[in-house]
Homo-oligomer: A and B are copies of this chain.
């Protein structure tokens, strides 16, 4: 095993450390967040820091780093209180990655992606996405250790491609074409290994 302690990590070259530490937490969700500013300009940005917070009420969390390109998205969410989360497919992966550049106007047209609107949410969905989630701002907290901002939002609309949700509510993300990411810039498709039954001490888990 290669071993790194606190001093070893602190003395790494900045770019090396960023890649290294961003890889350590394993595979991450990656999605496009759609929002709109007060002038009506549509914004789209790729995020890998979106996670489940609760099922009832349905809540998600997003981490926003201080001083990054993602600040437009955070400003729009805090002002408009609404945004969308759109899963990314291999078909438009390069376009999705391109949204992270410092664009002047809307990333939709600039990157070759299309808006889609519902009656529930003011913010734009990504037409190309098989899973589209409409969210309403609930609360924001600051992580004191590094001033990262945590936004918690309620899911108020879900639009999802037909025939990918099972009888038990489980969404087959592979059928949806949803990809995952690792580190800062690496994207991956997945292959199902197993679903297991609810674990109990007196027997081994079985495949569902």
Most buried by B among A5, A25, A93, A178: A25
Q: Point out the residue from B19, B27, B103 that lies within 8 Å of A27, measured CB to CB.
A: B27
Any B CB within 8 A of the CB of A90: yes
A22's nearest neighbour on chain B, judged by CB, is B52
Q: 8 Å CB contacts to B: which residues of A139-161? A: 139, 141, 143-146, 148, 150, 152, 154-161
Within the complex, the shortest CB–CB distance from A202 to chain B, in Å, comes to 8
Complexed CA–CA distance, A63 and B59 (Å): 13
Decide: B139 and A145 in contact? CB cutoff 8 A. Answer: yes
Bin the interface of chain A by size: 35 or more
Whether A49 and B51, one on each chain, are in contact in the complex, defined by CB atoms closer than 8 angstroms, is yes
The smallest C-beta distance from A167 to any residue of chain B, in angstroms, reads 8
Please, which residues of chain B bring their CB within 8 A of the CB of A65? 54
Report which residue of A102, A138, A155, A188 has the largest number of chain B beta carbons within 10 angstroms of its beta carbon.
Answer: A188
